[in-house]
Structure 1
Amino acid sequence: MTGDAQVVQVEVFHNEYLPEGGTVVDAVVTVTMGEGAARAAAGTRASAAEIIMIDCSGSMEGNNIRAARNAAGVAIDTIRDGVQFAIIGGSHHAWPVYPGNGDAPLAVASERTRQEAKAAVRGLRTSGGTSFSTWLDLTLSRFAASTAELKHAILLTDGENTEAAQEFQSALDRCVGRFSCDSRGVGRGWLARDLLLIAEQLHGSADGIKDPSDLADDFRQMMQAAMGKSMADVALRLWTPAGSRVRFVKQVFPDIVDLTDRRTDVSARVGEYPVGAWGAETRDYHVSVEVTPEPVGQEILAARVSLVHRDDVLAQGRLRVVWTDDLAYSTRVIPQVAQVDGQAELAAVIQEGLAARTAGDLEKATAQLGRAVRLAHESGNVDKANLLARVVDVIDAPSGTVRLRRRTEHADVDVDAEIASVESRKTSQVRRS
């Protein structure tokens, strides 16, 4: 794409100098689709379909189901005319709320259908348990009847998924590549691990909403973001030279998603990694390639990264490297790469600490969460520091000295730990310097 009205950019940040015998090239690849490009794509906007899954299990009774009804109504109002949509209720089984006939096609958004859908949502009642696989399978079957190019869902729950892990994973496997899904936990009974699995495998986001009254704004923002997508089936295409190996490809902003195992080979040296639907936005990717070492002074193209929409190359960036025996060059720190490495380490340490705490290994939990406090302090990550302070008492942040809070010392400590677990996966956009 060319011209200011159609700007798509791929920027590559990496140390182009490898030490003698060096083989690993790490780069942060920043991909930006500008407002002009999104508007241009919107001129031929991909058709869209939306499904909202609402937890109607017994634990939702009271404030949570009232907030869910209200939030769903706000989201329905945000769906633009012409978009296909449906509402699904879920407990230990799933059922169509609107359109109410399970064999009916998705509704088409209009003033009339939005009002009908909101009326159906107001009639939701609660009972039963929680089985995500049934919700996902019904959503998949409803999407299968649609020819829409952009298929997006929202899943809301307040409880723990009680089905077998394999049953849940099998449902996720059936849904991968078929639609994207944002997941939200409301209140205090949900578990982050399930929402993280949905978000990571279905190209979505996961978050916790402690106060049900905040749910409506969150649903509005999710639906606005979905309505802002204009291009489906976008992928990162990675070319590497003969003899090289792609170590990994990970999205690191706005959420951490490992794309490595989602590669589809285009040829022996070219692979594509699906990155979902796009609108006007920026995403960062960490790309790591292992190359065959060359003599000092030799320069090669280690990789070529393209953003592609089907067969259309929207933008491209190159990773060139040269071998040097000058230590000053080969040890240069690239701020963008260092920042991504630090975020990934912090996220992993928080996850390990919370997992140890849940397992009852308090010594390991204290050590890992103390390390997380130190990393958050060193990087100036105030948000993560505040989240960690809900789980540990910070005695000395620079050294990572903490005391693990007892569960009885803080009424919200369990849900705060889960929210921290979700929030630890969120990252900040890389610095431009």
Structure 2
Amino acid sequence: MNPNSDVKVEVFQNEYLPEGGRVVDAVVTVTMGEGAGARRPGPTASAAEVIMIDVSGSMHGDKIVAAKNAACVAIDTIRDGVSFAIIAGTSDARVIFPGGRHLASASGRTRSDAKAAVRRLSANGGTNFSAWLTAAHGLFAASRAEIRHAILLTDGENGDREDDFQRVLNHCAGVFVCDSRGVGDGWRARDLIKVAETLLGTADGIKDSRHLAEDFRQMTENAMGKTVADVALRVWTPGGSRIRFVKQVFPDINDLTARRAEVSARVGDYPTGAWGAESRDYHLCVEVAPGAVGEEVLAARVSLVHQDEILGQGLVRAVWTDDLAAATVINRKVADYSDQAELAQAIQEGLSARAAGDVTTATARLGRAVQLAAASGREDTAKVLGTVVEIVDAATGTVRLKSRSENREVDVDAEIAAVGSRKTRRVRPTE
């Protein structure tokens, strides 16, 4: 670990495997403090912010008023000198401030001009995320900013073809981070989750538009607090091993396995985006060649890196034993995060099946979600699931799927549950 780096890497695992055992699980907690960014020139890294506002026809009335107010709050939160732009999104994308293909530098005058442009917006048109993201990509690509953050707000379902949408998301991956938000009752969790997962951001639904401004302020403040860009989790594994998965499991669930960039035959980098003073948890699962009883090997070396500089490092071990009591203990962090990841997947798959009319799959997956929520004490999640299924027996996951309601509020709750399932509770080491 670099002695000048204020980064701590902790590994939580049961390193003991039974004779012939191959699978090693560990939760790696990475904590970065204020000192990590202070080593670099200037008080903070250079930053750029792009705000994408849905102004489609459905964004009328209170929603467009709330969206404009939220955008103005975000503009006021951008610190001096940060490059920024505002995009009005319909089936196309218009850079309403500063206009053209470049970003403006935040100052009292440019903030005032940007807010004036936002206040002139009106709702009219369709909804196509790919056009908005493509416009944001063009703005960021022309910028030299180190920290690149975007906000995408919508009240409707994305009209893009799925393959076109994913192609644009893949094009934007690594160029900027994007937080996605749904407001009102017409958005779909799957759209927001795709944006958040591919672009390493957060996703959420805002049922009451009056809460939108505070959410925009928090997202922008968080982006302004980032100090180190393009940070990766670098994982070394020994010969004969195989990485089953690498997932961020706190504060949000994001499977990074397919995002691996090969450094060498045994080393791969997994993108984590920009960091400030914060802490995140990652679940690493490695399959190693089995060893003899008493043998100990290094199963993985996990490092946080920036431009090939190691900021912090932790070691994952494997020790073979004939003590079955030691070998069968599941680390508390590993077990709990595994359950939370399964809960999120069950909710998302169940609600997707429900939307597609697949009653059998929806009932099975939502039943499993109810069972996991009950076992982990997630009463808030169980309550929302109760709006779409009749819970017969929570302990066994026995449920009956309710008929789709004319009450849109029920469906909004279900979508909020789906995006909310990505958020996890941190497991304390002593628990």
TM range (shorter): over 0.9
Give the unaligned 5+ runs of structure 1. none
CA contact (8 A) 2:2 2:310 kept: no
Task: Write the mapping of 1:354-433 to structure 2, written as runs, cut at 5 A.
Answer: 354-408=351-405, 410-433=407-430
Give the aligned CA root-mean-square deviation in angstroms. Answer: 1.7
Q: Residues of 2 paired with 1:185 and 1:176: CA distance? A: 21
Task: Write the mapping of 1:4-403 to structure 2, written as runs, cut at 5 A.
Answer: 7-38=6-37, 43-100=42-99, 102-103=100-101, 105-403=102-400
Over residues 92-111 of structure 1, what are the superposed CA-to-partner deviations in whole Å (9 max), with x where a residue is unaligned? 100111002x14x2110111
CA contact (8 A) 2:303 2:310 kept: yes
TM-score, reference length from structure 1? 0.96
Q: Residues of 2 paired with 1:409 and 1:432: CA distance? A: 45
Change (3 A) 1:364 1:242: closer
Q: Residues of 2 paired with 1:72 and 1:181: CA distance? A: 15
Deviates more, 1:218-227 or 1:265-274: 265-274
CA contact (8 A) 1:42 1:230 kept: no
CA contact (8 A) 2:37 2:44 kept: no
How many corresponding residue pairs? 430
2:405 partner SS: helix
| Identical aligned residues as a percent | 64
**Matched residue type, 1:379:** S
CA contact (8 A) 1:237 1:273 kept: yes
**Segments of 4+ moved more than 6 angstroms:** none
Deviation for aligned residue 1:145? 1.1
Deviation for aligned residue 1:380? 1.0
Over residues 59-114 of structure 1, what are the superposed CA-to-partner deviations in whole Å (9 max), with x where a residue is unaligned? 101111111000000000000001000000110100111002x14x2110111111
Change (3 A) 1:261 1:367: closer
CA contact (8 A) 1:98 1:120 kept: yes
Change (3 A) 1:390 1:36: farther
**Matched residue type, 1:73:** C
Deviation for aligned residue 1:243? 1.4
**Matched residue type, 1:358:** A
Give the unaligned 5+ runs of structure 2. none
Deviation for aligned residue 1:412? 1.1
Q: Residues of 2 paired with 1:317 and 1:67: CA distance? A: 45
Q: Residues of 2 paired with 1:247 and 1:367: CA distance? A: 26
Deviation for aligned residue 1:44? 4.7
Deviation for aligned residue 1:390? 2.5
Q: Residues of 2 paired with 1:162 and 1:199: CA distance? A: 18
CA contact (8 A) 1:249 1:286 kept: yes
